[in-house]
Structure 1
Amino acid sequence: MQHRYVKIIGTGKYLPQTCVTAEEIDARLGVRAGWTLKKTGVEKRYFAGEETASQMGAKAAAAALQAAGVSFRDIDCIVGASGTYQQPIPCNAALIQAEMGEGASGVPSFDINTTCLSFVAAMDIVSYMIEAGRYRTALLVTSEIASIGLDWEHKESAALFGDGAVAVVLSRSEHGGVSGIVHAAMETYGDGAHLSEIRGGGTKLHSRSAEATEKDFLFQMDGTGIFRMTSKLMPPFLERLMQEAGTSIGEMKLVIPHQASAMAVRLIMRKLGVGEHQLMDVSHNGGNMIAASIPMLLHEAIERQRIVRGDRVLLLGTSAGLSLGGLILDY
């Protein structure tokens, strides 16, 4: 069973109060004026100050519920779908539930994490639970604070990221209706596991480890290595995805890619045969928000009426692992 009769009935977002321009990043990195914009294409991004991930997620969730025209009482589960954690225990979803003032509700709350593909994986997995009747309406929340873990000595990666939160209300749709998930797939190639990582914070290099250094707790990325692997693996992955779904890239009204970097996205999209009119890209405003990148673009596409009910959309990206993921949905 690949096709699932589910639909998005509401989305909401939250961006932190602090807007950081490319010029400010230039100054922080100690590079010449214009370097950040030329290198990343990101004009501005938002950094969390005193906001916590659960506070951001709760605000995005409230906006999504309002857009969906439902209340918290209609929600059967909360799924945290983030690449970063507010704290190791408990999961983000439980903290978001409490932040929403619903800590006594008993609504099951759990996380699904595969870094940048967390939202795509969560939507895929939870849709089966909705199709099976376990849940009827689910709240998916992605809340990312990347800024706290950036290594400012690694200019190329530090200049890319921003913080933000997005929530999506996913519910059952009518069998035979226009909305549903057509097909989804994910592949992981562990040979690329160390191309993107935070080594510290787990059981190998924990806070009391004598071997741990400050760098171990900061984000490290080999952007060139990731691009080379993605360029090699993504075309055959996409070909298999389309073939198994019985569709083609030309039938996609919109392609929503993970915003790894503006330059990398456009190069790979051209290689995949994605037309400029099909591409949803607002990376200049927000940057790479880890797992929030794809649902943020999805939210903007809905808000800007780039898609309407029945339009076919492809969510596509990569994540640490190295993993590739794609989900085709009829909005």
Structure 2
Amino acid sequence: MKKALQIVSMGKYLPPHQVTASELEAKMGLEPGWIMEKSGVAIRHFVEEDSNASMGAKALAQALERGGVAYEELDLIISAAGSYDYPIPDTSCLIQKEAGHGDSGIPSFTVDATCLSFITAMDVASCLLSSGRYRQIAIVSSESASKSLNYNEWESASLLGDGAAAAIVRLTPEGEASGVLSAAMETYGDGAFYTWVRGGGNAFHPGHEPFDAEAYTFHMNGAAVLGMAFRKLRGFVKKLFAELDFSLQEVDLFVPHQASRVALEKAQAFFKLSDTQFVSNIETHGNCIAASIPMALCDAIEAKRLKRGDRVCLLGTGAGLSLGGLVFVY
């Protein structure tokens, strides 16, 4: 059943500090050209002064300005991210405070499905809007992956970057076609430890002895993730489009999670999608966890690759291992 949701506007923010592939190659003792060959990321942005909350607030401010929406017109703020400044308090309330509206009373909470957080938040928002509970919602994905990099693991350290994106979504105005047509998610717990940060929770408390600094950094088995994901993807996409009268190959725009260049190239070939349909910013942004999809979507809107009435598919994988997808009319 179609759910009422329309993207009013989007904004994004990249921290000013850029880190090139050659800088990381020197840091990790890799041969020149190695990172571009393996991960395809020429430039990524790393935070220096910024926090998750400050990046999120800046992306939100841009989205509000572009949409001509006042902060007070928001009914809800959803933080959709897998990284955070603190375990407690929740990042959404920090974004509210950083935006200068800490006394506004606007409800705020987090949806954390790691890399799939934005897709999941869009699904949640569409249900809330359709129920009549809210009329205008801000979804903010702000990620600082650089804080948890393990430079002994070339795969993730050469791939990840920082940044934020925000979307203002509202109840679809009467007579307009915008809306969520389909959403789906599948989780396979057998892949839970393919991507993980071992320390910081109750299973591996900060007081654990002996102290192990690497326990608090990100670990990824990229080959295992890619293998499991592509074994499951065909059936997942079939389910996502099962009740629609068009196929993935007929969407106007396909925005995948920017997992890696290898994953993106494989996905485009696997689904037989044209360059016109396919959106990628991996070379200039890297993998920015949950912010990857909304930043790529924001880029597409800025480049006028989308017009009202176009059909869009968001698709990706996240730690869990989970697959997530959402098809909507822009």
Tell me which interval the TM-score lies in, with the shorter structure as reference length: over 0.9
Per-residue Cα deviation, 1:63-116 (whole angstroms, up to 9, x for no partner): 000011111010001100011011000111000000011000000010000100
Range with bigger deviation, 186-195 or 171-180: 171-180
Q: Distance in 2 between matches of 1:40 and 1:240?
A: 30
Equivalent position of 1:314 in the other structure = 313
Q: Deviations over 1:211-240 (max 9, x none)?
A: 652121110000000011011001111111
- State the partner residue of 2:183: 184
| Deviation (angstroms), 1:176 | 4.5
Paired residue for 1:203? 202
User: 1:11-67 deviations in whole A, cap 9, x for unaligned?
Assistant: 001100101111111111111111111111111010000211111110000000001
CA distance in 1, matches of 2:325, 2:111: 16
1:91 aligns with 2:84: no
Letter in 1 for 2:213: E
Superposition pairs of residues 261-276 of structure 1, within 5 angstroms: 261-276=260-275
* Superposition pairs of residues 1-331 of structure 1, within 5 angstroms: 2-210=1-209, 213-331=212-330
Moved more, 172-181 or 318-327: 172-181
Q: Which amino acid aligns with 1:113?
A: D
- 220-229 vs 175-184, which deviates more? 175-184
User: What RMSD, in angstroms, separates the aligned Cα atoms of the two structures?
Assistant: 1.0
SS at structure 2 position matched to 1:244: coil
The whole-number CA distance in structure 2 between the counterparts of 1:4 and 1:294 is: 20
Q: What is the distance in 1 between the residues matched to 2:147 and 2:2?
A: 39
Amino acid at match of 2:329: D
What is the letter of the counterpart of residue 105 of structure 1? S
Give the TM-score normalised by the residue count of structure 2.
0.98
- Residue 127 of structure 1, CA deviation: 1.2
* Secondary structure of the corresponding residue to residue 302 of structure 1: helix
Q: Secondary structure at the match of 1:277?
A: coil
Write the distance in 2 (CA, Å) between the matches of 1:246 and 1:211. 58
What SS does the aligned partner of 2:242 have?
helix
1:246 to partner: Cα distance: 3.3
Any conservation in 1 of the 2:249–2:271 contact (CA below 8 Å)? no
Structure 1: gaps spanning 5 or more residues: none
Q: Return the alpha-carbon distance in structure 1 between the equivalents of residues 129 and 4 of structure 2.
A: 8
Taking the aligned partners of 1:8 and 1:212, their CA distance within structure 2 comes to 46
- 1:284 aligned partner, one-letter code: E
Supply the AA of the counterpart residue of 1:239: K
Residue deviations 1:239-294, cap 9 Å, x none?
11111333201220010000110111111221122223210111111100000000
Question: Helix, strand or coil: the match of 2:282?
Answer: coil
What CA deviation, in whole Å up to 9, does each residue of 1:294-323 have, x standing for no partner?
Answer: 000110010001111010000000000000
How many residues align? The count is 330
SS of the residue corresponding to residue 286 of structure 2 reads coil
CA contact (8 A) 1:178 1:330 kept: yes
Cα separation, 2, equivalents of 1:226 and 1:249 = 22
C-alpha distance in 1 between matches for 2:211 and 2:185: 32
Measure the CA separation in 2 of the matches of 1:121 and 1:56. 20
| Helix, strand or coil at the partner of 1:157 | helix
Q: Which amino acid aligns with 2:233?
A: M
**CA–CA separation in structure 2 for the residues paired with 1:249 and 1:48:** 36
Distance in 2 (alpha carbons) for counterparts of 1:307 and 1:134:
29
Measure, in 2, the Cα distance between the counterparts of 1:175 and 1:242.
25
Q: Distance in 2 between matches of 1:50 and 1:73?
A: 28
